[in-house]
A = this chain, B = another copy of it.
């Protein structure tokens, strides 16, 4: 049963966007990170904007509850931003919390209630030790049908990867290629957690070994490095360390405005012409392990609302919590046929100079994955790229006009897709 996607009451655009540095930061909390992102988004508004113009706030956050012993983070963030007594709301849809916050902001403006809304996401993860973070993330799997099996997310995605590789005769090297490409992009993103290609990481390790007088590894290529179990140990077969996104602190903010008022703030708004949201069972109860129903549905809705097809999309940010997730995403979105993404990645089709550049920001793999902020961070990259302001990592596409973000949650429970247009 496919329902016709209805139109929004009125158009919505991004008039500013910015993010905090993503990384590991001691002594700061979610309010500090969010304020850093908010200030960055304020500065991005060409004609200026004041706090008094912001009418409401939606904050995507996965679990300040567990990470920071702080529920109701939106209220505290709103207070610290100086938004009282305006409406502030927290949205939680696991890794899609940030994307869902954007959507709720779009919907709220379309409803007629507000003209200018601040949306964003934040996560402060590194208060906890790595094993506690892993547990906290595992709570996004089903407490009855997945957690008791001892699954954590690398394990869940390893199951998915195993199914994918077997079904499509792909290899771990296809996955490595995704990591290499995303680090290549991320090396050009100063706000990302890692600012280094895998090749440069390899070379710096070689230099270090030489300096310390230890055994110097005989890696010649980044693929050599990624095959070395010392440098890139298996986390859950076939996923190795460099197939996994890191643990990250960070925040990202978008200022949204009704189409009628957007040009009061900038001559170059980025219009959100499609929003889609789908849901699906978690992995234990899914008919197909190598495709995600929520992403199919979310992209179907977004394409229909925007009046475009997968072919029209020029660039995309997709959720690569693990390398396998990027391959599935670009198939679920219709960019590549089922099973064809691995070869496309191998051939460089998804690289910055490829036919369908994916994760120009470096993706979660390189930029980092502060859970609640991730979806908002994707939109920040769209802001930069579509306005031609992405600096050294600007995609070399003439007449760049259409971008897409894909923000999936957990093993696919929710997916948010947004389509962005520069006019």
Give chain A's interface residues, CB within 8 Å of chain B: 1, 3, 6-9, 29, 52, 55-56, 62-63, 65-66, 68-72, 74-76, 78-79, 83-94, 100, 104, 107-108, 110-114, 139-140, 142-144, 147, 277-282, 285, 293-294, 296-297, 409-410, 413-414
Contact = CB atoms under 8 A, between A and B. Distances in A.
A75 B409 contact: yes
Contact of A87 (B108, B277, B281): B277
Given A63-B65, A93-B74, A6 B143 contact: no
Given A6-B112, A9-B111, A111-B110, A69 B278 contact: no
A140 B279 contact: no
11 contacts: A70-B143, A72-B92, A74-B92, A76-B142, A79-B413, A85-B297, A86-B279, A88-B414, A89-B91, A107-B111, A107-B113
A71 B97 CA distance: 11
B84 A280 contact: yes
Given A7-B112, A84-B281, 19 more contacts: A1-B52, A6-B114, A9-B112, A29-B143, A65-B139, A66-B66, A69-B143, A70-B142, A70-B143, A71-B94, A72-B92, A72-B140, A76-B142, A79-B413, A84-B293, A84-B294, A87-B277, A89-B277, A90-B93
Contacts of A297: 85-86
A75 B9 contact: no
Closest 9 pairs between A and B when the two form their complex, measured CB to CB: A75-B413, A87-B277, A85-B297, A110-B111, A72-B94, A65-B65, A9-B112, A111-B111, A9-B9
Contact of A279 (B78, B285, B294): B78
Contact of A107 (B7, B52, B83, B107): B107
Contact of A8 (B90, B112, B278, B409): B112
A26 B111 CA distance: 41
A71 to B, nearest CB: 5
A197 B140 CA distance: 42
Given A7-B112, A111-B107, A296 B85 contact: yes
Of A62, A74, A100, A409, the most chain B CB neighbours within 10 A belong to A74
A280 B84 CA distance: 5
Contacts of A147: 69
Nearest to A100: B89
B55 A63 contact: no
Given A87-B279, A89-B104, A280-B84, A413 B72 contact: yes
A411 to B, nearest CB: 10
A406 to B, nearest CB: 15
A279 to B, nearest CB: 5
A89 B93 contact: yes
A66 to B, nearest CB: 5
